[in-house]
Structure 1
Amino acid sequence: MSKLLINENPIMIIPSLALKMGLNEAVVLQQIHYWLVSSSHVMEGRKWIYNTYKEWNVQLPFWSESTIKRTIKSLEKQGYLISANFNRSKMDQTKWYSIDYEKLSELDGNAEALIEQPSDQNEPNSTSDCAEQEVMMVQAIPEITTETTTEKDTIPFSEVIEYLNDKTNASYRAGTRRTMELIRARWKEGFRLDDFKKVIDLKAIEWLNDPIWNKYLRPETLFGTKFESYLNQKSPKKQWREEDFDLDD
């Protein structure tokens, strides 16, 4: 049997949650929820856990620290993740995290069934550092219909936006409804991740250093109705500059 198959505790992904806020965000939020369930740290009327980005990277080694940091900031901006500093020393900048379950329930009427708010009852006496414990999820995956499977069949919302942000130094969010609609529309037309990356590359080369056009390096422009035209355009020619030549020869 392959060692890559299930011989260790898996990280579970709730498909409907990933569709609503992005794959990366759903994985991180679910991971934080798992630790909140067993947390004994209660402040300001809610449970908290703490970890540095490096410690989160131990639990989620398939991502870089920068990806984890960007995903956590995305969750904070969307209001699903609450962060604070309850450390005794002001020099200790380790962040504490909790989930705004009330806001999460606004996604739809079934959100509370997907991630149930942790109870204060029957909790363990203490928890050790999250990075030193096994990574394990216990939530069940909801029943998936054929229709939702087709639509959610690995539509890479987070991967597309992460690539766009990396190439353009932007900070767009994968969970924005309009952005997800645009990516989903192109995906249904048969375009795939490599196509999105190619469009981003082509237009970044063409527009990134142009003070007028660089504002159009955004999801609504790149992934709109002209997507196929952008995909099939020829790579822009290199614009030679004086410094490209050795004038001393």
Structure 2
Amino acid sequence: MKNILLTNQEYPLIASPQLAKELGTAAATFLQKLHFLLSENRKFKQKKNLTTYLNRKWWFHTFEEWQTTLGMFSVSTIKRAVAKLKELGLIEINKLSKIKSIRVNYYAINYQKLKELFGISTSQTKPSPAPKPSPENIMGTDAPTQPEATVENLATIPSEHRALYRQLRQYKLDIAYDDPRLHFWEKKARSVIAYAASAPNRFNINKWQWHTPEQILPEELLRT
């Protein structure tokens, strides 16, 4: 008699009563389902929709897919729920596809904000970022940890990203050719290059050694 009201392709939808009261049923259900999809122990058949960026898990869905996943809300209702959650800072949305023509949204939950607003904490609460190293503690490497991209590798990314990648590597920035941050830095290319070029003088580090973005770039660029 287990799950007698569900078909073989369905699963129950749940939402926190507290969140439903504060946010509305649609937003609360969306948030609960997103948490479920981001859960590390899920062996979900759509796991290809899950990605990791900057040590956080992100889930990709179109609004039409959200409608199918949630099963009881219109696309317009889901869009309003997403807008509300984003405005409150409870979710973050990024376009993480390496293919420039694919402008799809990836979603992550801001667990710290969830805790601040509603006192709700989970095991996935975002940890506090590690302190940025002081200049005297910045240690470079003689060889990059990220190997140089091959011609075949570079052919898979947009030309703007290739140019930025090559310039940053010239300044010994230890970064991979397919790092998602290249997409976000595209409109800030001059600033990123300037920071990479001036790092030896700003931090008094060896310009012939390799350093990671986390070591020499400002926090506002690392958060993009």
What TM-score does the superposition give when structure 2 sets the normalisation length?
A: 0.46
* Structure number with higher relative contact order (C-alpha < 8 Å, ≥ 6 residues apart): 1
TM-score between both structures, scaled by the size of structure 1: 0.42
